[in-house]
Structure 1
Amino acid sequence: MSWMKNGLLPYLVLAGLLLAVAVFAPFLTPMDPYEQNLAIALAPPDATHLLGTDRYGRDLLSRVIMGSQTTLCASLGLLVFISVFGSLIGVLCGYHGGRLDTVLMRISDVFLAFPEMVFAIAVAGALGGGLTSAAFALALIGWPKYARVARGLVLPMRTAPFIEAARMAGLGTPRILFDHVVPNIAGPVLVTAALNVGTIIMELAGLSFLGLGAMPPTAEWGAMMNNGRSMLQTAPWVILAPGVAIFLAVAVFNLLGDKLRDVLDVRSK
């Protein structure tokens, strides 16, 4: 099978392990990630606390594991929403054209005109911060990418012979879109989404690092890095633990996206 020949399986396994850790995080933490013990604050890694403790004496390994649930689940949930919403907008615009296409594409141009993080910081800040505000800000700036991809794929397809045949057979627009158009654009959209996972993880963690995402005491990788940035020289493990977790998650999903592109994107073959 092509997915085995392209070496996709190892990255699927790694991504699956990350997701499993995120889903079952409450059952995998060796200690309570929110329990404070100032007597062991900033303790270095040892046999009891494998990654050390933070300034409040909380076990960092437990907080990194619990943080995977917040960071990864929020990022993937956001990705699913913007990819589905943006793709549906692109399909409608590409298939119908006309005024609908003009209005919605000009709206997407407005969002694309702003640098992503600058816009997200402004929106999240105006909404008062918090994980929900950060996700909403990233959703506003993220959907146009998928709308553009889907529209570009649908434009040449709407005059294709198999679409004309479906119309002549008496199929309505909804059935044509969901039975014939959507399946034909699913591969490239999935590749785009897979390549975008790492970016969303970094952007969501970045907003939390700036104090505009997850709020204390929620265990979230970006917020944990923000909490430990002043102790980089005195207690580097406080910031290195969540930083390495972000690096590994982004690397795994980026490599997975590259492999999925090799398997699914026929334009690259």
Structure 2
Amino acid sequence: MRRVGTQVLAAAGGRAGALVVVVGLVGLLPWLSGTDPALSVLRARSAEQEPTAEALQAVRDDLGLGEGPLTLLGHWLSGLLRGDAGTSWVSGTEVLPGVLSGLAVSLTLMGASLLVALLIATALCARMVVRGARGALPQGAGGGAGAAMLASVPEFLIAPVGLLVLGVWAGLLPTSGWTGPRDMVLPALAMGIPAGGLLGRLVADALPGAFAERWAELWRVAGVSTTRIALGGLRRAVPAVAPQLGLVAVGLTGGAVAVETVFAVPGIGRAALGAAKSQDLPLLQGCVLALLALGLIAGALAQLLRRRLLGPSLRDAALTLPAPRPAAATALRVLVPAVLAAALLAMTVWGLLRDPFTVDTAARLGAPSAAHPLGTDALGRDVLARLGHGAAATVGTAAAVTLAAGLIGLALGFLPAFSAGVADIANAVPPVLAGLLVAAVTGPGTTGAALAVAAVSWPPLAAHAATLVQEVRASRFLAAQRAIGATPSRILLRHVLPAVAAPVARHAVLRLPGTALALAALGFLGLGAQAPSPEWGLLLDESRSYLERAPWAALAPAAALAALAGLAVSLASLNLAGARTAAGTGTGAETGAETGARWGVRSWVRGARVRGARVRTGTAVTVTPSAEEGVGGRL
């Protein structure tokens, strides 16, 4: 009990410390920024005034920018306590009213998106609930590829495609603005579809275990109605995934930045992006704090909902459900990722043989032809060439980010109590929000985008490593090593580290496509690679201005990104099937720790975010709070 209490205190301390660091970094943005804040304010107040040394110093004195970082942070925090978030450097207006106005719009949009998500999740799970209530649900059943694909497609990809198909071509819905309920439909669909796929997959994966329990069989034998059994199964399955509702809300906050930008919705996400690009740091500080608070509050409410649904008698029992056992990897499961990878590789190689920077104004916005198989952009540059060169740059950056996240996750996996608390805060910061903060300090660019994604990509890897470390240290062969006098350092370097590092490395490799999607999202928002770079997200963003005249220029990078998302889902599904098969055939020569280390992660991908890690314990699956409740998130 004392050890458990110490772990809880350590996790709480890590969580509080990480929150203090994040808030401190937000408060120090004016000091951390590489630009001169006084110059930004002077240009905003009077673009014609000469930026002399005297004028700049006057601005610094007026805003208190000449003081040290601690004084600056203290003034900002004391202002927040008084309800004063500062004054916008660009408009000169109070920040707090603007933040509250944008927050109201974003909350309305998030509510509509959550409604869409619940409808989609209901549609995905309805058939499984009915079959489970009738006792006809196989133990190996799961959420399916459809739900996984919906969960993996990012909002920044759905938004322009929906705008093109339903808004421009079909003319069914408005493509921009915020004047009535019809303006809400396309943005809500763009944000709600991935969230619905994720929720549907989570619940569907929990249903087989719930309906396989003894109570369901007894109820059917006793003649209880199918409706009551179905409701009982949902009551048993939903609390286990209730903490993920908070992560869905975090995903909505990150998705709001892209969706509000595409559809010109005057929400807080769009305001934050505009503030980051214009270096309006007081407004960016207010927006980031509001988005961070939304994620933390949503996570707390999800935990309260879980406890409420369980009741006092089931709070501990709900942590164990019989694990669904998927079918072994089939030829089709192997073929799908192979075909997607081959198609992306062929397109990349073909594009690399062409020049991505040659400008031909006579061929502007040209349709696909023999000379330009995917058409040309607004400057007459070959789209295929730019896709090929962009793939090479994107994958290279994603590989570096994946390596950094893997090393961080592996190191923090040996500090589970501390990393669990820090991971909770990292999970409340979507990659887009991290990109906004980094861009405010370093400016938009590939390096800043890579730092932002790496900063929030390590929690699932750390949770996986912590689970494996716990299994390895509890194994019998380590007890034998200690008995023969092996030193702790030898045990760590020769036994524990190799058993943990290899599976975590494989896990990190599976996250590579999703990491590339996260980088593309920042490029789409203008926070990543800058023109004339052919980065995929930037290509998609550039094509929005001529979407109606040359849709092929947008559909080409959209199709490539969709294939990348499909590859991420296929790899995760293939790994899951092989993992369960291999884990079930382990021999005595392979320790339980090694089996768990190789196959202990049960994951589904949304962009590359692993949603849970589970430890095999006999016939049940124990969901570790740091993994199931603290790991996951949103692109």
TM-score of Structure 1 vs Structure 2, range by shorter chain: 0.7 to 0.9
* 1:88-140 Cα distance to aligned partner (Å, 9 max, x none): 320x225xxxxxx53x4443333223234323332234320101100001111
Q: C-alpha distance in 2, partners of 1:214/1:263?
A: 37
Residue 48 of structure 1 is matched in structure 2 by 371
Q: C-alpha distance in 1, partners of 2:577/2:333?
A: 9
Whether the 8 Å contact between 1:191 and 1:261 is mirrored in structure 2 is no
Residue 499 of structure 2 is matched in structure 1 by 184
Aligned residues: 258
Instruction: Show structure 2 runs of 5+ residues with no match.
Output: 1-326, 584-599, 603-615, 617-635
Q: C-alpha distance in 1, partners of 2:436/2:544?
A: 19
The change in CA–CA distance for 1:43 and 1:129 in structure 2 (over 3 A counts) is: same
Residue 383 of structure 2 is matched in structure 1 by 60
Which of structures 1 and 2 has the bigger CA Rg?
2
Shift of 1:237: 1.1
Residue 403 of structure 2 is matched in structure 1 by 80
Of the three residues 34, 39, 58, the one matched with 2:362 is: 39
Whether the 8 Å contact between 2:340 and 2:563 is mirrored in structure 1 is no
Counting only pairs closer than 5 Å after superposition, residues 156-235 of structure 1 correspond to structure 2 as 156-185=471-500, 189=504, 192-235=507-550
What amino acid maps onto 2:428 in structure 1? A
Q: SS at the partner of 1:57?
A: coil
Q: C-alpha distance in 2, partners of 1:89/1:19?
A: 34
Q: SS at the partner of 2:473?
A: coil
Asked if residue 10 in structure 1 is aligned to residue 335 in structure 2, the reply is: yes
The change in CA–CA distance for 1:168 and 1:156 in structure 2 (over 3 A counts) is: same
Instruction: Show structure 1 runs of 5+ residues with no match.
Output: 95-100
Counting only pairs closer than 5 Å after superposition, residues 12-31 of structure 1 correspond to structure 2 as 13-14=338-339, 17=342, 20=345, 25=349, 29-31=352-354
Residue 613 of structure 2 is matched in structure 1 by none
Shift of 1:14: 4.0
The change in CA–CA distance for 1:40 and 1:203 in structure 2 (over 3 A counts) is: same
Q: SS at the partner of 1:87?
A: helix
TM-score (norm 2): 0.37
Whether the 8 Å contact between 2:520 and 2:537 is mirrored in structure 1 is yes
Residue 97 of structure 1 is matched in structure 2 by none
Q: C-alpha distance in 2, partners of 1:9/1:47?
A: 33
226-235 or 72-81: bigger deviation: 72-81
28-37 or 43-52: bigger deviation: 28-37
The change in CA–CA distance for 1:17 and 1:74 in structure 2 (over 3 A counts) is: farther
Q: Identity percentage over the alignment?
A: 31
Q: C-alpha distance in 1, partners of 2:351/2:552?
A: 21
Residue 98 of structure 1 is matched in structure 2 by none
TM-score (norm 1): 0.82
The change in CA–CA distance for 1:87 and 1:164 in structure 2 (over 3 A counts) is: same
The change in CA–CA distance for 1:7 and 1:163 in structure 2 (over 3 A counts) is: farther
The change in CA–CA distance for 1:171 and 1:14 in structure 2 (over 3 A counts) is: farther
* 1:133-165 Cα distance to aligned partner (Å, 9 max, x none): 000011111112211221122124323211222
The change in CA–CA distance for 1:169 and 1:3 in structure 2 (over 3 A counts) is: farther
Higher relative contact order (CA 8 A, sep 6+): 1
The change in CA–CA distance for 1:6 and 1:177 in structure 2 (over 3 A counts) is: farther
Q: C-alpha distance in 2, partners of 1:175/1:18?
A: 46
What amino acid maps onto 1:86 in structure 2? G
The change in CA–CA distance for 1:20 and 1:42 in structure 2 (over 3 A counts) is: closer
Shift of 1:40: 0.9
Whether the 8 Å contact between 2:329 and 2:574 is mirrored in structure 1 is no
What amino acid maps onto 2:484 in structure 1? A
CA RMSD, Structure 1 to Structure 2 (Å): 2.9
Asked if residue 153 in structure 1 is aligned to residue 468 in structure 2, the reply is: yes
Residue 415 of structure 2 is matched in structure 1 by 93
194-203 or 40-49: bigger deviation: 194-203
Shift of 1:174: 4.3
Shift of 1:81: 2.1
Whether the 8 Å contact between 2:435 and 2:448 is mirrored in structure 1 is no
* 1:181-206 Cα distance to aligned partner (Å, 9 max, x none): 24434575356435533432221101
Q: C-alpha distance in 2, partners of 1:51/1:81?
A: 35
Asked if residue 69 in structure 1 is aligned to residue 69 in structure 2, the reply is: no
Residue 567 of structure 2 is matched in structure 1 by 252
The change in CA–CA distance for 1:264 and 1:54 in structure 2 (over 3 A counts) is: same
Whether the 8 Å contact between 2:337 and 2:570 is mirrored in structure 1 is no
6-15 or 42-51: bigger deviation: 6-15
Q: C-alpha distance in 1, partners of 2:426/2:329?
A: 39
What amino acid maps onto 1:109 in structure 2? D
